[in-house]
Structure 1
């Protein structure tokens, strides 16, 4: 069957020893659907095992890299039990393989790169952003949690920047991403295709050669005085507190001090967010500090399934409804206030599954591509 390039959600090309993968839903900002996850995993496994494949490049078609998970897919499945279990399982399993990939990968990232979309760039050996790149993990605000490996990634940022980014959904620019260490290089948007051609012409998987080629095009990063990265003393002071309530109280006190006007809109956003989403996210990031990548992904799989199953709240569906379905931006949270979120109920979404039902992350390199959804209890 002929592939319609306009309709195939992921395009791949073999160019000598280089493999290119393009997220190809520009009209939908390259959201990640079940088909996207399946094709990404299939190709990455094939290329890692192929001796002729030396370098993998991933990019997004159109004006975005990827806006993240397909929220409509989750919302449409809200009345069917575990309608999204397969795609969730496959994606967390894929996240592990992206973090631990055995060959050099380069992400060429322009435009929006959020949530699950950002998990396809941040773990890469080389993640190249532009002055037009916008990153965020805004999941807590809609009653979800910081997922796709980000409880591992953000918990390892300096100080309490990770809690800040996770709870506020703060947007970071390309410059800020490089300065924070979340990505590796900044290349001007008008040089991105020239860089891609240069990488293809290298026809090599040599990390030093790839790095040198990227550096030919990259700029030194200068972050502005107003950047949130320059607000670290305040962020570390406020976001180190034990609870979301204490964080908000401390942040509010700081907002009243001279020169701290930047806090006011951030605080407003936090107060509009799902109380349950904020509490789950803070705990997940804090736990992430003490967890391995595998432990974080297993935990995030549990959290995602328990949230989608509305184990303690239906906030995720209400958040998606308010943001993308009715677009009234007036979610009715359950419960509506932080103080009403029951800590014991929170334990329910973090609790382990029966061993067979956990995400099966490979234990060693010999069985590196085992644990697929097809081998899980869910497929059986």
Structure 2
């Protein structure tokens, strides 16, 4: 233990020296570092909340390619130059640099904006396909572009300072960077809820919702980083066990669980935006009314484009999702709502109501949305490089169920085990406690796994004859 602690102290001192140097000299926007088998990216634009720009993308991509091919590299870590743990406010990456995108559009430099999307999405694709374990420390605000460089990783570490959101419908855009892939694959209607409302999740809730895989207190992050760099194996099970050493016990309550979760699935499971709005109104409670008001404050165009994006993305491969998003992005940045949303929200930082065009959902036909944004023959195409682990053929993350167990248990896993259709199925007659013990043991005691499964069982399972679990269809 002394050896590990001493090494952690030395690494922390080295990081502090780098931080002090960056205050006096012009430093790169992304720092690279090698420590034993660890390869570390540090986002280094703290004054801009580490918002992702094309320079950062070009800084990360070639280095990540090189590290992915190195036998000496055992784990890749991405983190941010951020506030010390005692500060409650921090930022991993607060999004893409959409203000610069807007300025390019206004200056009729649309090609430069497309270059950003092309290179950003290519980076997202590389992150999803590399064989090396990739660990993202979401210690602070994680939105938009910050989600794109973390969500496709097998290991996403939330802290008490994590603030996750995909708030694009509030700026006249849509949840891109692979949002069309990961959001529809969250349990139930959670993906629709997060995408349409821009709802914000704090650390523990990010784990319970399936956004993060582990919860580690911010103060333990330096020690965890040191531990990961000491690993001599790039096996994901080994990496997961190392992270679990530093994980914190999660609270037993989930803010989006119980009745709230039932409302989310009931309302956001509808197939159109007007139907979702109507369902929220019928709920008749304060939470539903607040969500309804939030939804109606968003760009109507963004809402309709986002819903169509999620519907299509649920059936597409990862690569095809990125190609679809590239076509949608080049149309969205030319819309009046994008200028209105970015100007009011990010430039003026105003809370005043936005003047959307058109202003109502009724003025936007679903057929026009499909033709203009998803089937436009004039849209430029995105060509993605081929990788060893090319995701062109897969429709779920290779490290998640049913292919892996790096993520928290989800509804599909629980359903298949109860119904006896999982390849890991043992008995098809489970008591609740037997089932909980089994699935938590399979996760090697993963903290939070029991709460996640209990919440799923409350919503989706029934106790049949003899007290055995059954699944509600």
- TM-score, normalization: structure 1? 0.89
Counterpart-to-counterpart distance in 1, 2:25 and 2:256: 40
Where 1:84 maps in the other structure, the secondary structure is helix
1:174 to 203, 208, 229: 203
Q: Output one character per residue of 1:265-301: Cα deviation in whole Å (capped at 9) or x when no partner.
A: 3222211110000100011011111111111111111
Where 2:271 maps in the other structure, the secondary structure is coil
The equivalent of 2:221 in structure 1 is 192
Deviates more, 1:75-84 or 1:31-40: 75-84
Counterpart-to-counterpart distance in 1, 2:69 and 2:377: 32
Q: Is the 8 A contact 2:207 2:215 kept in 1?
A: yes
How far apart are 1:81 and its partner, in Å? 3.9
The equivalent of 2:47 in structure 1 is 27
The 5 Å alignment of 1:236-251 reads 236-251=265-280
The equivalent of 1:67 in structure 2 is 94
The equivalent of 2:345 in structure 1 is 323
Counterpart-to-counterpart distance in 2, 1:205 and 1:367: 19
Tell me whether 1:302 sits opposite 2:327 in the alignment: yes
The equivalent of 2:434 in structure 1 is none
Q: Output one character per residue of 1:204-237: Cα deviation in whole Å (capped at 9) or x when no partner.
A: 4232332221111102333535x12332221111
The equivalent of 2:289 in structure 1 is 264
Distance 1:6 1:186, change over 3 A: farther
Q: Output one character per residue of 1:105-161: Cα deviation in whole Å (capped at 9) or x when no partner.
A: 111121100111012222112111111101000101211011000110010011111
Tell me whether 1:277 sits opposite 2:306 in the alignment: no
Tell me whether 1:289 sits opposite 2:309 in the alignment: no
Q: Is the 8 A contact 1:176 1:229 kept in 2?
A: no
Distance 1:8 1:15, change over 3 A: same
How far apart are 1:57 and its partner, in Å? 0.7
Tell me whether 1:155 sits opposite 2:174 in the alignment: no
Q: Is the 8 A contact 1:13 1:20 kept in 2?
A: yes
How far apart are 1:202 and its partner, in Å? 2.6
Deviates more, 1:73-82 or 1:89-98: 73-82
Name which one, 1 or 2, has greater alpha-carbon Rg: 2
Distance 1:5 1:105, change over 3 A: farther
Tell me whether 1:11 sits opposite 2:31 in the alignment: yes
How far apart are 1:53 and its partner, in Å? 1.7
Q: Is the 8 A contact 1:135 1:173 kept in 2?
A: yes
The equivalent of 1:78 in structure 2 is 105
Q: Is the 8 A contact 2:74 2:231 kept in 1?
A: no
The list of structure 1 runs, each at least 4 consecutive aligned residues, that deviate by more than 3 angstroms after superposition, is 2-7, 352-355
Q: Is the 8 A contact 2:157 2:216 kept in 1?
A: yes
Counterpart-to-counterpart distance in 2, 1:197 and 1:123: 23
Q: Is the 8 A contact 2:129 2:390 kept in 1?
A: no
The equivalent of 1:376 in structure 2 is none
Q: How many aligned residue pairs are there?
A: 358
1:100 to 112, 129, 148: 129
The equivalent of 1:165 in structure 2 is 194
Q: Is the 8 A contact 1:17 1:203 kept in 2?
A: yes
Where 1:190 maps in the other structure, the secondary structure is helix
Where 1:31 maps in the other structure, the secondary structure is coil
Distance 1:61 1:366, change over 3 A: closer
1:360 to 383, 403, 411: 383
Distance 1:132 1:223, change over 3 A: farther
Counterpart-to-counterpart distance in 1, 2:252 and 2:139: 18
How far apart are 1:366 and its partner, in Å? 9.1
Counterpart-to-counterpart distance in 2, 1:292 and 1:181: 19
- TM-score, normalization: structure 2? 0.72
Counterpart-to-counterpart distance in 2, 1:145 and 1:291: 17
The equivalent of 1:131 in structure 2 is 160
Where 2:188 maps in the other structure, the secondary structure is coil
5+ residue gaps, structure 1: 369-380
2:372 to 348, 351, 356: 348
The equivalent of 1:374 in structure 2 is none
Where 1:249 maps in the other structure, the secondary structure is helix
Where 1:167 maps in the other structure, the secondary structure is helix
Where 1:336 maps in the other structure, the secondary structure is coil
Deviates more, 1:159-168 or 1:358-367: 358-367
How far apart are 1:344 and its partner, in Å? 3.3
5+ residue gaps, structure 2: 1-20, 83-89, 392-473
